[in-house]
Amino acid sequence: MDARNIGLRNIEVADTKICSIDGENGKLIYRGFDILDLVNHSTFEETSYLLLFGELPSPEQLADFGRRLREARGIPEPMIKNMKNRPKRAQPMDVLQSCVAELADYDLNIDDFSKEAHTRRAITLIAKIPSIVAAWNRIRTGQHVVDPMEEGSHAANFLYMLRGVEPSAEEAKVMDICFILHAEHSFNASTFAAREISSTRASMYAAISGAVGALSGELHGGANVQVMKMLLEIGDPANVEKWVAGRLSSGGRIMGMGHAVYRTTDPRADILSRLSKAISKEKNNKWFEITERVEKATKKWMLEHKGQAIYPNVDLYSASIYYSMGIPMDLNTPIFAISRISGWASHVIEEKFAEAAPKPALYRPKAVYIGRYCGPMGCEYVPLSERKQQVA
């Protein structure tokens, strides 16, 4: 097997109109629009509309979309009850994954396989995922579940439901930018999981809950939790270089650094780095300084020892932003999911309804079998009573 293709690297599996990434030049484009323009001029709601429908909305379309999102924010009472019955130690991503699957129970038209029904499901999921994340955090910390805001942006509402008090306009703006930046990223592991599940004609809830599971791993969305753990362990800017060298020379990874596609700085990391710097300055904390030194020390070590640098990805600077905002560390990945749902749902709809060719009826990659081989007739089956214990 060609080593470069292991893990589907460089393999084209489908066409998409949703997102393109220029990994050499650090460009990220949603539906033809540069992520920098979206951060500077758009909102998460407008970006979600763009991802879902393929066009920027008119003022009326955006107002209607915002209204539909706000109206769908509430979560079913039995779901809250079920959450209250869970052990408080349950991981937020596990709770989210099962709640997303549970939402199928409340879909009164679950047998409607039309594009309209899937768009409605996408709006439901975009609206309810932040409410689920906030509700679980309050339940596990012994606080009452906060009802959603009737008005207020998606970002402001999430912070309100999480804390029970309205955020400042500045905080809501930072959250909104983080949501825009995490909303979509082509065929990453969780999106591919969602598309693969969709290709079996499973429901959108099944596809999205699978995507939440894929996102939770530390080589993907879970990296932003590991980054914060790393920053806390380093503890002081003066410790960075020694810590990084120790980690890398023992074969460990630096979370938040490196990417399967980018060969330069992830454009999202550039924006998040500026936000992290501003928020650390405002809060007078050390997290930006430590993070920036981790970036520099990792690049230097990799260049010196492996001949090529690795660059920060989306998770490196987001961790300190959320921490500085007082958000519990293990909500970093659920926040990623709150945002990525827009991309996932757009991909599920594209997978199910796009006419673009080529697109597989069902994903089915090929593996190279390297296991036991006893000839074309197979191995001789020895009855259990005659088998001797094998020495491993």
Q: Is 11 in the site for ligand COA (CB under 6 A)?
A: no
Q: Is 223 in the site for ligand COA (CB under 6 A)?
A: yes
Kindly name the residue from 176, 259, 266, 347 that is annotated as catalytic.
259
CA–CA separation, 328 and 224 (whole Å): 12
Please choose, out of 108-116, 127-135, 310-318, 364-372, the segment that lies near ligand COA by the rule CB under 6 A.
310-318
Q: Is 334 in the site for ligand COA (CB under 6 A)?
A: no
Q: Is-contact 197 204, C-beta < 8 A? A: no
CA–CA separation, 329 and 322 (whole Å): 8
Please choose, out of 43-51, 158-166, 203-211, 258-266, the segment that lies near ligand COA by the rule CB under 6 A.
258-266
259 part of the active site? yes
Question: What SS3 class is residue 376?
Answer: coil
Q: Closer CB to ligand COA, residue 135 or residue 331? A: 331
Q: Closer CB to ligand COA, residue 296 or residue 306? A: 306
Q: Is 315 in the site for ligand COA (CB under 6 A)?
A: yes
Among 35, 103, 208, 255, binds ligand COA (CB under 6 A): 255
Among 120, 253, 283, 352, binds ligand COA (CB under 6 A): 253
Kindly name the residue from 176, 220, 315, 347 that is annotated as catalytic.
315
Q: Closer CB to ligand COA, residue 39 or residue 206? A: 39
Please choose, out of 138-146, 307-315, 332-340, 380-388, the segment that lies near ligand COA by the rule CB under 6 A.
307-315
Q: Closer CB to ligand COA, residue 199 or residue 320? A: 320
Among 6, 11, 232, 260, binds ligand COA (CB under 6 A): 260
Q: Closer CB to ligand COA, residue 58 or residue 308? A: 308
Q: Is-contact 11 23, C-beta < 8 A? A: no
State the nearest-atom distance from the C-beta of 253 to ligand COA, in Å.
4
User: Any alpha helices (H) in the chain, and if so which ranges?
Assistant: 35-41, 44-53, 59-71, 77-84, 92-102, 115-140, 154-163, 169-182, 189-199, 204-215, 223-234, 240-249, 267-283, 287-306, 314-324, 332-353
Q: Which residue is nearest to ligand COA (CB)?
A: 258
The 10 Å Cβ neighbour count of residue 354 is 15
315 part of the active site? yes
Helix 332-353 vs helix 189-199: angle between axes, to the nearest 10 degrees?
Answer: 40
Q: Is 295 in the site for ligand COA (CB under 6 A)?
A: no
Among 118, 154, 182, 259, binds ligand COA (CB under 6 A): 259
Q: 3-state SS string over 155-212?
A: HHHHHHHHHCCCCCHHHHHHHHHHHHHHCCCCCCHHHHHHHHHHHCCCCHHHHHHHHH
Q: Closer CB to ligand COA, residue 67 or residue 306? A: 306
Sheet with 19-22, strands from edge to edge, namely 19-22, 27-30, 33-34
Question: Quick one: 48 exposed, middle or buried, by C-beta within 10 A (0-12, 13-18, 19+)?
Answer: buried
CA–CA separation, 314 and 257 (whole Å): 9
Q: Is 257 in the site for ligand COA (CB under 6 A)?
A: yes
Among residues 105, 157, 164, 155, which one has the least CA distance to residue 137?
164
Q: Is 256 in the site for ligand COA (CB under 6 A)?
A: yes
Question: What SS3 class is residue 246?
Answer: helix
Q: Closer CB to ligand COA, residue 127 or residue 194? A: 194
Consecutive H or E run containing 34: strand 33-34
State the nearest-atom distance from the C-beta of 49 to ligand COA, in Å.
25
Q: Is 340 in the site for ligand COA (CB under 6 A)?
A: no
Could you tell me how many residues make up the chain?
Answer: 392
Q: Is 93 in the site for ligand COA (CB under 6 A)?
A: no
Which whole-number Å values give the CA distances from 55 to 18, 61, 118, 124, in the listed order?
11, 11, 18, 20
Please choose, out of 117-125, 208-216, 217-225, 347-355, the segment that lies near ligand COA by the rule CB under 6 A.
217-225
Please identify every residue annotated as catalytic: 259, 315
Tell me which residues touch ligand COA (CB under 6 A).
Answer: 219-220, 223, 248, 253-260, 306, 310, 313-315
